[in-house]
Amino acid sequence: NIFILMQPIMPGWKFDKPSGIFQEDKTSPGRVYGTGYAMKQLTFPGEAYCLQANKGPEGKKFLTTSVLDYMTNELKVEWMLSNRLNDIQRLNPDYAVDIDTFARTVKAQQEH
């Protein structure tokens, strides 16, 4: 199973000295929140699609629960690995997926 979550693109923040608070800066370039927010999204209901193996287009399923609830209750998952494709691409631009890490993950899955 592959889970796809979309992250919002948000502007940056700036410190407003007179008020002493941080305020959203709508003039700053938009960016996604990052890895920590991606992990947090796994706990939000209705945030993801699941692509189920060997089911073709019929395998695309919108989750009304959180990814973690679905993985725990429906798939009986006991552990997981989460990587942002954007992070992997920055670390190794020649590979969208780190094959060595993927292979170790599959091996660990098979052993458990």
Transcribe 45-77 into DSSP letters.
TT-EEEE-TT-GGGGEEE-SS-HHHHHHHTS--
Residue with token string 């960016």: 31
Give the span between the Cα atoms of 68 and 33, in whole angstroms. Answer: 20
CB 70 within 8 A of CB 57: no
Q: How far is CA 42 from CA 39, 62, 67, 73, 94, in A?
A: 5, 13, 5, 14, 28
pLDDT at residue 6, as a whole number: 80
pLDDT at residue 92, as a whole number: 67
Give the span between the Cα atoms of 32 and 11, in whole angstroms. Answer: 9
Over residues 72-102, the pLDDT tens digits come to 998 898 887 766 666 666 666 666 666 777 7
Over residues 16-40, the pLDDT tens digits come to 999 999 999 989 888 877 767 878 8
